[in-house]
Structure 1
Amino acid sequence: MAYCKYHPLTASTYHCESCQINQCDHCVDDDPEHPEPRCFVCAGAVDSLGATDIAPFWRRLDRAFHYPMNKQTMMLIFIASLLASLGAFIGGITGFCLSLIVTAITTKYSFLCLQRTTDGGVTAPDMNEAFSGGFKIILHIIFILIGISLMIVGVERLFGGLASVLFSIFWMVCLPAVFINYARFEQIGPAINPIEIGRLVFTLGGAYLLLLLFIAIMIASVGTLHQILEEQVYFFSAILQSIVSYYYLIVIFHLMGYLIFQKQKILGFTSRLESSEHSAGRSSQNRMLANIDVLTKEGQFDGACATFKQGLQAFPTSYELHSRFFDFLYGLNKLDEIDAFWPTYLDLVGRQGRENQASTAYQRLLLLDKHYQPTSPDVRYRIAQACFEAGKSVLVVKLLNGLHRDDPQYKALIPAYELMAKALDDLPNKREQAEKLRRMMRQLAHHST
C-alpha cells in the first residue's frame, strides 16, 4: 500500500505524475471550481488511486440492510408490491401486463443499485430513474437465460447428462456473477461467457461464496414467510411477501455492487465511496489550510506565508487561521513579521473574548528572545492588559517599563502607567516603586495640561 507523502501513516488516494508523489484526500486541492482534484504543489491534475482500506461487505451488513430504507425506495417497494399482487390477483392479459411492468421497473432499479454501488454510491438511486429502460433489461435477461439454457443443452449432447448437470450447477452458482457482469458491461456477451464468469468468480474468491450464503439465507427467509402466511388472506399476504422480496432484491444487488467495489483494484478500475469524497464538505478555509500544510512541508515558506495573508483577508474572523499564522511565524522565528501581525491578532482575540491568548502568545515569544518587546507602544499596552487580567503582573511590568522613554508622545501613556502601578502593587517589595511611578504619572499629567 502506498502512503501519503505528507501523512506517512495515511494511505494515499491520489498520485501526482508531475511531482511523482502520493497524497491523501487532505493534501489535494478539491476546489469545486476545478473539474478534478489538483496538486497543491504544481497545480496539475492528480490521478485517483481509488478507495483504500475498503471494509469487506460482511462488515457493512447493517448499512446494506438500511440501504433501501429511504422514503423513495420504500415507496417504490410498497407500490411495486401492491401492483404485483394486484396483477396476480386479477390474472389474464391485464394482470400479466401489470406484472410485467412492475418486473421491468424493479429489475431496472435493482441494476441501478448495483451500478451505483460499484461506482461508490452509498445511497439508493432516485426512484424516477427506474421508469425507463426496464423492458430492455428484461429482454436481455431473457436472452441471457436462453443462451445459458442452450449451452447446457449443447454440453448434454456433446458430453452427456452428468456433464450437463455439473454445468447447470456451475450456472446456478454463477448466476449473481452473470448479473454483475451484465451490469458492469451492459452487454449480453460478457454475461454468458463461461470463461469471463469463471474468471470473475475466481477473482472474487471466498467473498463471492459468502455472498451466495447471504443470498441463500434471504431467499430461504422469503420461503419461510410464505409458509407462515399461507393460510392468511391471499391478497394481503401476497403484498407482504412481495415487500420482503423486493426489499431483499435491492439489498442483494447492493451487496453485489459493493463486492465489485471492494475488489476494484483486482478488477482493474478505481472508484470512491461517496462518504469518503471530501470535496463537497470541505470549506474554502480548510482547503486553504491544507494548501498551507503542504507548502510548509515542502519548504515553500514564502508561498505558505502569502497564502496565509490571503486567508486573513478572506476570513478576517477566523481564530483558527489567525492562531495558525502566529504559530507559523513563531516556528520560523520571524519576530519582525509577528510585530506587524500583532494589531490584527489582538483585534481578533479581543472581539472574540480570547484576550488571555495574547498573554500566552507573548510568553511563547519570550522563549525565543527573553528581551523581546513589541515595537508598537499600543501593542505593548494591549498585551499588558491581557497579562494583568491573567494575573501575570511581572509581564505587565516588563512590557510597560520605560514606555515614556521609548515613545514619549504615546497618548495612552498615563493609563498604561496606571496599569503598571497596579501590577507593581501585586508584586512583593514593589510598593515603593509603585508610589514612585504614581508621582511620575502626576508630573506627566501636569506637563500634559
Structure 2
Amino acid sequence: MKNDCHYHPGDPAKWHCRECQLHYCSACMPDADARRQHGLCPHCGRTMRYLGAATEVEPFWLRLSRFFRYPFHADPLIVIAVCTFVPLFLQQDILGVVISFVLLLALFKYTYAVIRHTAEGHMKPPPVATAYTGEGFAIVIQQLLVFVAMVALVVASGIFLGPLPAMVVAAFAILALPASIMVLAMEHSVVAAINPLNLATLISRIGWPYFLLYGFLILLTLASGAAQEFAASHLDPAIAQPLAGFLNSTYTLMLFHMLGYLLFQYQEELGFASDFQEDLPTTESSQRDRTRRVDADIDMNLKEGNYNLVAGILEEALKRDTHNPIRLSQLYQLALARNDVQDLARHHVKLLRWMIAHRKHQEVRTLLTVLARHDPDFRIQDPELVVDAADLLFHQQDYRQALRLLKDFHKRFPGSEQIAPAYILVARTLANGFEQWEKAISFLRFAGKSTTDEQRLQAINTYLEQAKRQEPLKGPRASFGPAAETKQAGSF
C-alpha cells in the first residue's frame, strides 16, 4: 500500500512510526539517516521503519523506453563489446576457449549484478569493473545448478507422479523462472531459488504486475530471437555471429534490469527498503542539519495547532542564535497571527533590530501600532533603537510615526549621546515632511547645543542654511544611503 506523508498530503512517505501510526516524508525527517535506514519519530522518539522509495517509484510499465536504453550506457556497452567481440580474435585452442569461457562468466556475473544494483535503487548501470573484478563468479554456476534442479524436478515428477503432474510442475517452473532469477540474484542461494514456497510467495506479493512483466519478457525473447534469426539468414556468418551475440547480450541486460526494477518497485511488499541512490545527500551533515530539524518541527506543530509549542521551539532556537532572521520572522508572524501582544512586547527589542537591519518598514509600523494600541503608554526604552526606528520611518516618508517615536526625546533620555541625532531627524522630518521651516530651525539649534562633535556641527550648519532657504534638508554628498547618512555627521 502506498502512503502519503501525514503532514504533506501528496508527498510520498519515506518513514513510518508503528507506535504513532504516522507516515513522514523526507522534509519531516531531515535529521534521519536514510543510508543506514535509521530515524527516530519526532513525536514518540521510537525507531521508525524506513520505507525507501516504495511510495514514490513509478510502475515499470511506464519506464519501458528507459529499459530499452539501459544497455546502451557506456559501462554495459563496454562489457558487451568485450565479451562479444574479443573471442572473435582468439585462436581456437585451449587458451582461446578458456578466455572465451571466462568472458562469458564475466558477462553473466555483470547481468546478475544489474539485478541487485537496480533493486538497491541505482538506475544507472554498475561500473565495468563489476564484471571483471571481485567475487561473484559463482552465481553463474549457481544458476546452472538451478536450471539442472528444475529439470530434474520435472523429470522426477513425470517418473513418480505421471505426465499430468509433470506438466503442472513444468508450467510452474517456467512461470516461476523470473522469480527464481530474482531470488538467486538477491540471496545467492540455490536452495532459496528453487524453493516453491519462496517463489510462490514472491509472485503472490507482486501480484498481477508479475504476469504483465512475464508477458513483456516473452515479447522481448521473441523479438531477440527473430532478430538473431534474421541476421543468421541474411548476413554473412562473420557478421551474423557477433551481431547475434551482441543482440542476445543486450536483451539479457535489459531483461535483468527489468527484474531488478520489479524488486525495487515492490520492495515494501517484499520486506526490504531501498531508495534512489543518486537522490540521497552526499554528506552526513546535510542529513543532520539542526536548522532543518527545527523547520520540520515548526511545520508539523503548526499543522497540529500546537502554537504554544511552536513559540517555545522558536524561543529555544533564538537562545542559540539570537539574531537569526528566519527565526525572528517566524516568531513575529506567529505572535501577530495569534494576536499575542505579550509575546510581541517581550521580544520587541530584538524584533525591531531585525526589522531595522533588513529595512522592513511596514513591519516596524505594524509592530509599533499593535503595541501602542494595547498599551498607550508603550515606549521603546533604548535611545539608539528609537533613533534607528525613526530613521527607517523617515526614509519611508512615514513622518508622523517618526515624530511620535522622537517626542520628548531629551526628557526621556537626558544626557544621551543620541539627543543631537534625534533632533536633527526631527528637524528633517518637519522640514521635508511638513514644510515647517521655523520649527525645523529651532530643533536644529537645539541639536547644535547638545553636541560637541565637529562633523555633526558642520552638518547642522548645512541643514540650517537649507532650512533658511526653505529647501529640503539633504545629507552630505559623501553619504551613499540611509545607513551611511545615519553614521555620518548625525544626518538622518
Same-fold status (TM-score > 0.5): yes
Alignment RMSD: 3.7
Letter of the structure 2 residue corresponding to residue 341 of structure 1:
K
Candidates 327, 330, 333, aligned match of 1:327: 333
Q: What is the CA deviation profile of residues 326-366 of structure 1, one whole-angstrom value per residue up to 9, with x for unaligned ones?
A: 435555632244334247625853xxxxx2xx213213424
Question: How far does residue 141 in structure 1 lie from its aligned partner after superposition?
Answer: 0.9
Distance 1:68 1:373 in 2: 74
Candidates 175, 180, 183, aligned match of 1:181: 183
Candidates 289, 303, 309, aligned match of 2:295: 289
Q: Percent identity?
A: 23
Where does residue 93 of structure 1 map in the other structure? 94
Question: How far does residue 312 in structure 1 lie from its aligned partner after superposition?
Answer: 2.9
Q: Tell me the secondary structure at the aligned position of residue 145 of structure 2.
A: helix
Where does residue 263 of structure 2 map in the other structure? 260
Letter of the structure 2 residue corresponding to residue 106 of structure 1:
L
Structure with larger RCO (C-alpha < 8 A, sep 6+): 1
Q: Tell me the secondary structure at the aligned position of residue 97 of structure 2.
A: helix
Question: How far does residue 179 in structure 1 lie from its aligned partner after superposition?
Answer: 0.2
Where does residue 137 of structure 2 map in the other structure? 135
Candidates 442, 460, 463, aligned match of 1:439: 442
User: Quick one: structure 1 residues 329 and 101, their matched pair in 2 at CA, closer, same or farther if it must change by over 3 Å?
Assistant: farther
User: Quick one: structure 1 residues 16 and 197, their matched pair in 2 at CA, closer, same or farther if it must change by over 3 Å?
Assistant: closer
Candidates 146, 149, 157, aligned match of 2:148: 146
Is the counterpart of residue 397 in structure 1 residue 399 in structure 2? Answer: no
The answer to whether the Cα contact below 8 Å between 2:294 and 2:313 also exists between their aligned partners in 1 is no
Larger radius of gyration: 2
The answer to whether the Cα contact below 8 Å between 2:31 and 2:288 also exists between their aligned partners in 1 is no
Gapped regions of structure 2 (runs ≥ 5)? 453-492
Letter of the structure 1 residue corresponding to residue 384 of structure 2:
D
Question: How far does residue 143 in structure 1 lie from its aligned partner after superposition?
Answer: 0.8
Query: Where in structure 2 are the equivalents of 1:336-375 lying within 5 Å?
Result: 336-342=345-351, 345=354, 349=358, 355=359, 358-366=360-368, 368-371=370-373, 374-375=380-381
User: Quick one: structure 1 residues 447 and 121, their matched pair in 2 at CA, closer, same or farther if it must change by over 3 Å?
Assistant: closer
Question: How far does residue 137 in structure 1 lie from its aligned partner after superposition?
Answer: 0.8
Query: Where in structure 2 are the equivalents of 1:409-428 lying within 5 Å?
Result: 409-425=415-431, 427=433
Is the counterpart of residue 110 in structure 1 residue 75 in structure 2? Answer: no
Question: How far does residue 445 in structure 1 lie from its aligned partner after superposition?
Answer: 1.2
Query: Where in structure 2 are the equivalents of 1:105-254 lying within 5 Å?
Result: 105-130=106-131, 131-161=133-163, 163-227=165-229, 229-230=231-232, 231-232=234-235, 234=237, 238-254=241-257
Gapped regions of structure 1 (runs ≥ 5)? 350-354
When normalised by structure 1's length, the TM-score is: 0.80
Distance 1:127 1:182 in 2: 22
The answer to whether the Cα contact below 8 Å between 2:427 and 2:444 also exists between their aligned partners in 1 is no
The answer to whether the Cα contact below 8 Å between 1:107 and 1:134 also exists between their aligned partners in 2 is no
Where does residue 352 of structure 1 map in the other structure? none
Q: Tell me the secondary structure at the aligned position of residue 149 of structure 2.
A: helix
Q: Tell me the secondary structure at the aligned position of residue 200 of structure 2.
A: helix
User: Quick one: structure 1 residues 342 and 195, their matched pair in 2 at CA, closer, same or farther if it must change by over 3 Å?
Assistant: closer
The answer to whether the Cα contact below 8 Å between 1:85 and 1:238 also exists between their aligned partners in 2 is no
Aligned length: 434
Q: Tell me the secondary structure at the aligned position of residue 38 of structure 1.
A: coil
The answer to whether the Cα contact below 8 Å between 1:86 and 1:235 also exists between their aligned partners in 2 is no
Query: Where in structure 2 are the equivalents of 1:288-327 lying within 5 Å?
Result: 288-294=294-300, 299-301=308-310, 303-309=312-318, 312=321, 319-327=325-333
Query: Where in structure 2 are the equivalents of 1:60-99 lying within 5 Å?
Result: 60-67=63-70, 70-86=73-89, 90-99=91-100
Letter of the structure 2 residue corresponding to residue 184 of structure 1:
M
Letter of the structure 2 residue corresponding to residue 431 of structure 1:
E
